[in-house]
């Protein structure tokens, strides 16, 4: 199962394949214990590269025969390769026969079983666990697939493309078997191959594209889950409509299928015409899914659908180009979600959520042991590079193209990209060139090479902004300085191209017109393009000392030090026309206070100015509930940790808890009013306005129950319990439950027990039950650690299993990744637990194990005693001789 020594694969070593595979005819005789695979391929030598042997990838396979043009041929097997030294020069037919063992496959890569059905996951390198192949994205073939299986156990047989024929098999024996034959007309790399066989049912919908072409959409799930597929189907239809309207990209297949599976390593997979989804990213009903689940499902359904063009029609030449499809497709799904949200305020809330996610996951990645460029230079296990950097920073890079060439210019660039590259496997450079060529003379095109440093340089650039106002001359001089800190293997960095969107406000909060010296235009908002280490900009006719509002809408993925005072931040929080920066000002005010307390080692004491400002937000007659909720939510503990050179997770948690307790007390009446004002009496819909109101009501309730812990009041815990019992939807039920649990209220226990009893048959809801307990904040200063003890105990719960990734994540990742104060313990018990779980998971599923291993990426910045204890735990994992290449790579980088 394990590679002896992991090899490092380098981007600069890329070579075109020695052979092309033009067509593949696959036949599967499906059997959980032993599936027989017959592959017939048309192979062609690539005369453009040096003459060499045919080397096919294969893992965990049992090879039965190899024929070339119908004749036996001599071959060798070396490691994970099947080598045919003297393959013909002329085109030839290659026939292979092998078996694999789906039910033994716990890695969930390749062909595996889940709940008695068959599924595949081939990205990145799973196809080689099905049959021998040139398993690389630049080898694109046309697939015809025949599936044969027991008809009663596997009535549904699916693969990519169109169904050619199906029927019963007349075979010896009494087991009635049947078959289905599928054909995908589009050439595709092996990572987009998929098959599904099982006892599934489908929700179906026929739709017409703008051109009048009819398509069949199907969402396949287990019997009993059908009523939870309506939202996914609606999201799919909305995605189709949006992609046609915004980018003129229609659906290209007659049939588009989506399938749910309970055992899946990621969110979902964009296999051509046959997307496979983790049920957690697909199934939703008001009673079992939260508003957040509804919106996550909408964006993942869209993401996979959008991949049909950005990923499938145009794919990656090699895996270093992963962000070509992922960064672009995340950008597209984020734009879609914003367009779906509607109002400017709801759009801003979407943007804020995306930036919060970037800061919580990508910024720490960029400053830790796994820091890598958006287009990595090397890897030993590609599965480790499905990262926040490739996805989320990649998306920010695409957003900067759009900022630099404008929305219409970006759409033109996309058209040129498809005109040039449809049907090809290409690179990030090809994408950059298409956007630039479609926009000659644009802010992008004139500095394209420098812009592309976003692909090659790791690390989050720091931008410092300092302004000087000259009252006599009525000028405001803004000086921007950039610096990109060193990252592993990259000591020296060149300046990057950083679009800085800005506006100026008067001290009273009025918009001040912008006119750059030498320019004739007068604007309300402008994008400066910082490209040198330092640049100054002079604005003229500035009638009063301005408050600068910089990096509006988060126009670049950088850390900004604008040096603004509290007074200036308060102006922005109250008046900025840019909702993103308004939110940001609120976060900065909170951050300053929390960091002040942590750095000085003194207990946090919120001041009247801050409390007054947040009270104004909460009472504001015009602001949306969603915006209020996101603004009144304190920065996350991981993001706070990012601001510090030496991280003491307990000190951070103590400051955050104190801030919450004080906000809860000081705004008690306002929380009560907000709670009452945001009750929704009508039926449930997950639209942004209703979701925002429920979010604010939930936050208010959490604050009131927390406050009750300090005051000894029993009314609010009682009301929360009542709401938990009577809730008409999961958002309110889980909100009330987590208010009780987070405050460690007495009623938390009976509520948790009741919740389990109510939902014991719904795995996705039981995942929430585990996750809530794993994420429960410890009481600051309480040494024993109730949450940690609870997690250890829950590991023994009959519903717990390491084998299902969702379940493992719900408990273990909740503690280790999302609950810093419960995890980082002075007695090192959290780290011991982590090491145990990494090793236990690695024996089952290396991909899940290596995600968990990444928790220690930033052990190096921890304060003592955490740092030394973390290092010991990492060494303990490292000492295991037969770690998977996945975990080995993460651990080696942590120790480098």
- Annotated active-site positions, please? 304
Q: Cα–Cα distance between 151 and 802 in angstroms, integer?
A: 31
Positive or negative torsion for Cα 353, 356, 361, 366: positive
Positive or negative torsion for Cα 299, 250, 270, 284: positive
Instruction: Please state the closest distance from residue 840 (CB atom) to ligand 0A1, in A.
Output: 20
Instruction: Please state the closest distance from residue 160 (CB atom) to ligand 0A1, in A.
Output: 15
Query: 396 contacts which partner out of ligand 0A1, Zn ion, none, CB within 5 to 8 A by kind?
Result: none
Tell me, residue by residue from 839 to 868, as one string, x for binding to ligand 0A1 by CB under 6 A and - for no binding. --------x---------------------
Pick from 269, 316, 405, 695 the residue near ligand 0A1 by CB under 6 A: 269
- Rounded to 10 deg, the angle between the 715-726 and 748-759 helix axes is 0
The yes or no reply on residue 123 touching ligand 0A1 (CB under 6 A) is: yes
Of the pair 329, 810, the CB lying nearest Zn ion is at 329
Q: Do 377 and 455 form a contact (C-beta atoms < 8 A)?
A: no
The yes or no reply on residue 282 touching ligand 0A1 (CB under 6 A) is: no
**C-alpha 218, offset from chain centre:** 25
Instruction: Please state the closest distance from residue 452 (CB atom) to ligand 0A1, in A.
Output: 23
Query: 138 contacts which partner out of Zn ion, ligand 0A1, none, CB within 5 to 8 A by kind?
Result: none
Q: Hey, how many other C-beta atoms are within 10 angstroms of the C-beta on 639?
A: 18
Instruction: Please state the closest distance from residue 266 (CB atom) to ligand 0A1, in A.
Output: 4
Instruction: Please state the closest distance from residue 135 (CB atom) to ligand 0A1, in A.
Output: 13
The yes or no reply on residue 124 touching ligand 0A1 (CB under 6 A) is: yes
Phi, psi of 236 (to 5 degrees): -65, -45
Pick from 111, 240, 253, 266 the residue near ligand 0A1 by CB under 6 A: 266
Q: Quick one: tokens of 525?
A: 């908002």
The yes or no reply on residue 121 touching ligand 0A1 (CB under 6 A) is: yes
Q: Cα–Cα distance between 738 and 549 in angstroms, integer?
A: 36
Q: Cα–Cα distance between 463 and 530 in angstroms, integer?
A: 9
Q: What is the residue whose two structure tokens read 């931008």?
A: 463
Which distant-in-sequence residues (6+ apart) come within 8 Å of 13 by Cβ?
none
Q: Hey, how many other C-beta atoms are within 10 angstroms of the C-beta on 57?
A: 20
| Residues 688-727 interacting with ligand 0A1 (rule: CB under 6 A) | none
Q: Select from 116-124, 362-370, 586-594, 824-832 the region that touches ligand 0A1 (CB under 6 A).
A: 116-124
The yes or no reply on residue 296 touching ligand 0A1 (CB under 6 A) is: no
Instruction: Please state the closest distance from residue 386 (CB atom) to Zn ion, in A.
Output: 8
The yes or no reply on residue 502 touching ligand 0A1 (CB under 6 A) is: no
Question: What is the SS3 assignment for 291?
Answer: helix
Query: 265 contacts which partner out of ligand 0A1, Zn ion, none, CB within 5 to 8 A by kind?
Result: ligand 0A1
Alpha-carbon distance values, 729 to 92, 287, 297, 644, 754 (Å): 60, 5, 17, 40, 15
Residues touching ligand 0A1, count (CB under 6 A): 15
The yes or no reply on residue 270 touching ligand 0A1 (CB under 6 A) is: yes
Instruction: Please state the closest distance from residue 501 (CB atom) to ligand 0A1, in A.
Output: 28
Query: 123 contacts which partner out of Zn ion, ligand 0A1, none, CB within 5 to 8 A by kind?
Result: ligand 0A1
Of the pair 132, 455, the CB lying nearest Zn ion is at 455
83 conformational bin, left if phi > 0, alpha if psi -120 to 50, beta if neither: beta
Query: 662 contacts which partner out of Zn ion, ligand 0A1, none, CB within 5 to 8 A by kind?
Result: none
Strand ranges in 209-350 using DSSP code E only, listed in sequence order: 214-222, 255-261, 268-269, 274-278, 315-316
Q: Do 239 and 255 form a contact (C-beta atoms < 8 A)?
A: no
Of the pair 382, 727, the CB lying nearest ligand 0A1 is at 382
362 conformational bin, left if phi > 0, alpha if psi -120 to 50, beta if neither: alpha
The yes or no reply on residue 386 touching ligand 0A1 (CB under 6 A) is: yes
Minimal CB distance residue for ligand 0A1: 266
Instruction: Please state the closest distance from residue 390 (CB atom) to Zn ion, in A.
Output: 10
Instruction: Give contact residues for Zn ion (rule: CB under 5 A).
Output: 326, 329
Pick from 326, 365, 366, 889 the residue near ligand 0A1 by CB under 6 A: 326
Name the β-bridge partners of 202.
220
Pick from 98, 265, 271, 773 the residue near ligand 0A1 by CB under 6 A: 265
Q: Cα–Cα distance between 268 and 260 in angstroms, integer?
A: 9
Query: 458 contacts which partner out of Zn ion, ligand 0A1, none, CB within 5 to 8 A by kind?
Result: none
The yes or no reply on residue 629 touching ligand 0A1 (CB under 6 A) is: no
Positive or negative torsion for Cα 753, 758, 761, 763: negative
Question: What is the SS3 assignment for 115?
Answer: coil
Q: Cα–Cα distance between 884 and 381 in angstroms, integer?
A: 10
Q: Cα–Cα distance between 73 and 50 in angstroms, integer?
A: 22
Largest Cα span, the chain = 98
- Rounded to 10 deg, the angle between the 230-247 and 394-421 helix axes is 60
3-state DSSP helix/strand/coil percent for the chain, to nearest 5? 45, 20, 35
Could you tell me the end-to-end alpha-carbon distance of the chain, in angstroms, rounded to an integer?
26
Strand-strand pairing, 255-261 and 214-222: parallel
∠ CA 827-829-833, nearest 5°, is 165
Query: 14 contacts which partner out of Zn ion, ligand 0A1, none, CB within 5 to 8 A by kind?
Result: none
Pick from 231, 303, 347, 723 the residue near ligand 0A1 by CB under 6 A: 303
Instruction: Please state the closest distance from residue 282 (CB atom) to ligand 0A1, in A.
Output: 12
Question: What is the SS3 assignment for 525?
Answer: coil
- CA contacts within 13 A on the Cβ side of 116: 12
Instruction: Please state the closest distance from residue 301 (CB atom) to ligand 0A1, in A.
Output: 11
Q: Select from 259-267, 522-530, 622-630, 659-667 the region that touches ligand 0A1 (CB under 6 A).
A: 259-267
Length of the chain, in residues: 896
Q: Select from 263-271, 529-537, 546-554, 599-607 the region that touches ligand 0A1 (CB under 6 A).
A: 263-271
Query: 124 contacts which partner out of ligand 0A1, Zn ion, none, CB within 5 to 8 A by kind?
Result: ligand 0A1
Of the pair 41, 192, the CB lying nearest Zn ion is at 192
Q: Quick one: tokens of 50?
A: 């040096």
Instruction: Please state the closest distance from residue 275 (CB atom) to ligand 0A1, in A.
Output: 9
Of the pair 301, 752, the CB lying nearest ligand 0A1 is at 301
Query: 268 contacts which partner out of Zn ion, ligand 0A1, none, CB within 5 to 8 A by kind?
Result: ligand 0A1
Of the pair 326, 584, the CB lying nearest ligand 0A1 is at 326
Q: Select from 5-13, 268-276, 783-791, 855-863 the region that touches ligand 0A1 (CB under 6 A).
A: 268-276
The yes or no reply on residue 268 touching ligand 0A1 (CB under 6 A) is: yes
Contacts with ligand 0A1 by CB under 6 A lie at 121, 123-124, 265-270, 303-304, 326, 383, 386, 847
């Amino acid at each position: 199962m394990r590679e002896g020594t992991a090899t490092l694969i380098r981007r600069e070593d890329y070579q075109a394949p020695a052979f092309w595979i033009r067509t593949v005819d696959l036949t599967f005789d499906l059997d959980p214990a032993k599936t027989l695979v017959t592959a017939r391929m048309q192979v062609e030598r690539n005369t453009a590269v040096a003459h060499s042997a045919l080397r096919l990838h294969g893992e965990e396979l049992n090879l039965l025969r190899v024929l070339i043009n119908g004749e036996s041929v001599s071959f060798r097997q070396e490691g994970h390769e099947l080598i045919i030294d003297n393959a013909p020069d002329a085109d030839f037919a290659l026939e292979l026969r092998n078996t694999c063992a789906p039910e033994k496959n716990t890695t969930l890569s390749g062909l595996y079983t889940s709940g008695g059905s068959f599924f595949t996951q081939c990205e990145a390198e799973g196809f080689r666990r099905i049959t021998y192949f040139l398993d690389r994205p630049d080898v694109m073939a046309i697939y015809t697939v025949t599936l044969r299986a027991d008809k009663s156990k596997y009535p549904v047989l699916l693969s990519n493309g169109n169904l050619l024929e199906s029927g019963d098999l007349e075979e010896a024996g009494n087991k009635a078997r049947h078959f289905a034959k599928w054909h995908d007309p589009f050439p595709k790399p092996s990572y987009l191959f998929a098959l599904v066989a099982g006892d599934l049912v489908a929700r179906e919908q026929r739709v017409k594209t703008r051109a009048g072409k009819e398509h069949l959409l199907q969402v396949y799930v287990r019997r009993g889950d059908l009523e939870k597929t309506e939202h996914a189907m609606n999201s799919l239809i909305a995605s189709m409509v949006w992609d046609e309207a915004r980018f003129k990209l229609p659906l290209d297949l007659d049939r588009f299928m989506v399938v749910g599976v309970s055992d899946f390593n990621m969110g979902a997979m964009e296999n051509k015409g046959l997307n496979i989804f983790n049920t957690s990213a697909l199934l939703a009903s008001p009673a079992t899914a939260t508003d957040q689940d509804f919106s996550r499902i909408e964006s993942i359904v869209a993401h996979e659908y959008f991949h049909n063009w950005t990923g499938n029609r145009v794919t990656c030449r090699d895996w270093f180009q992963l962000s070509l499809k992922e960064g672009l497709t995340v950008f597209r799904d984020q734009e879609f979600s914003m367009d779906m949200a509607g109002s400017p305020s709801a759009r801003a809330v979407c943007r804020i959520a995306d930036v919060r996610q970037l800061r919580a996951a990508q910024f720490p990645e960029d400053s830790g042991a796994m820091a890598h460029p958006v287009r990595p230079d090397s890897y030993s296990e590609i599965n480790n590079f499905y990262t926040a950097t490739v996805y989320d920073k990649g998306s920010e890079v695409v957003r900067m193209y759009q900022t630099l060439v404008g929305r219409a210019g970006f759409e033109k660039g996309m058209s040129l990209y498809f005109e040039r590259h449809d049907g090809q496997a290409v690179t990030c450079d090809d994408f950059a060139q298409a956007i630039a060529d479609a926009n000659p003379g644009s802010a992008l095109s004139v500095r394209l090479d420098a812009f592309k440093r976003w692909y090659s340089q790791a690390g989050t650039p720091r931008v410092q902004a300092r302004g000087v106002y000259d009252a006599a001359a009525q000028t405001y001089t803004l000086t921007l300085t950039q610096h990109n800190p060193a990252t592993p293997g990259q000591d020296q960095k060149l300046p990057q191209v950083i679009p800085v969107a800005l506006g100026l406000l008067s001290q009273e909060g009025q918009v001040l017109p912008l006119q750059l010296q030498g320019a004739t235009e007068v604007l309300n908002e402008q994008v400066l393009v910082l490209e040198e280490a330092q640049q100054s900009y002079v604005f003229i006719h500035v009638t009063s000392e301005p408050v600068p509002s910089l990096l509006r809408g988060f126009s670049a993925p950088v850390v900004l030090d604008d040096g603004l005072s509290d007074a200036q931040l308060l102006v922005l929080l109250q008046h900025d026309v840019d909702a993103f920066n308004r939110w940001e000002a609120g976060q900065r005010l909170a951050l300053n206070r929390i960091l002040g307390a942590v750095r000085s080692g003194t207990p946090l004491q919120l001041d009247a100015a801050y409390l007054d400002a947040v009270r104004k937000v909460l009472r504001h007659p015009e602001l949306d509930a969603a915006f209020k909720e996101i603004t009144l939510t304190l920065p996350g503990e991981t993001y706070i940790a990012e601001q510090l050179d030496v991280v003491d997770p307990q000190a951070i948690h103590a400051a955050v808890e104190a801030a919450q307790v004080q906000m809860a007390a000081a705004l008690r009446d306002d929380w009560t009013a907000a709670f009452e004002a945001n009750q929704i009496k009508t039926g449930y819909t997950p639209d942004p306005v209703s979701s925002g109101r429920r979010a604010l009501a939930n936050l208010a309730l959490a604050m009131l129950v927390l406050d009750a812990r300090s005051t000894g009041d029993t009314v609010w815990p009682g009301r929360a319990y009542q709401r938990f019992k009577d809730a008409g939807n999961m958002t309110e039920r889980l909100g009330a439950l987590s208010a009780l649990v987070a405050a460690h209220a007495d009623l938390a226990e009976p509520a948790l027990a009741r919740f389990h009893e109510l939902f014991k048959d719904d795995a996705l809801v039981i995942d929430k039950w585990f996750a809530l307990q794993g994420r429960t904040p410890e009481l600051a200063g309480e040494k024993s650690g109730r949450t940690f003890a609870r997690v250890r105990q829950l590991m023994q719960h009959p519903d717990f299993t390491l084998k299902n990734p969702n379940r493992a994540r719900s408990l273990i990742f909740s503690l280790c990744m999302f609950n810093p104060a419960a995890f980082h313990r002075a007695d090192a018990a959290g780290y011991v637990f982590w090491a145990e779980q990494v090793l236990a998971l690695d024996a089952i599923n290396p991909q899940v194990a290596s995600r968990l291993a990444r928790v220690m990426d930033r052990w190096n910045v921890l304060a003592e005693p955490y740092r030394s204890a973390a290092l010991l735990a990492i060494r303990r994992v490292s000492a295991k001789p037969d770690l998977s290449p996945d975990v080995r790579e993460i651990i080696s980088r942590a120790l480098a």
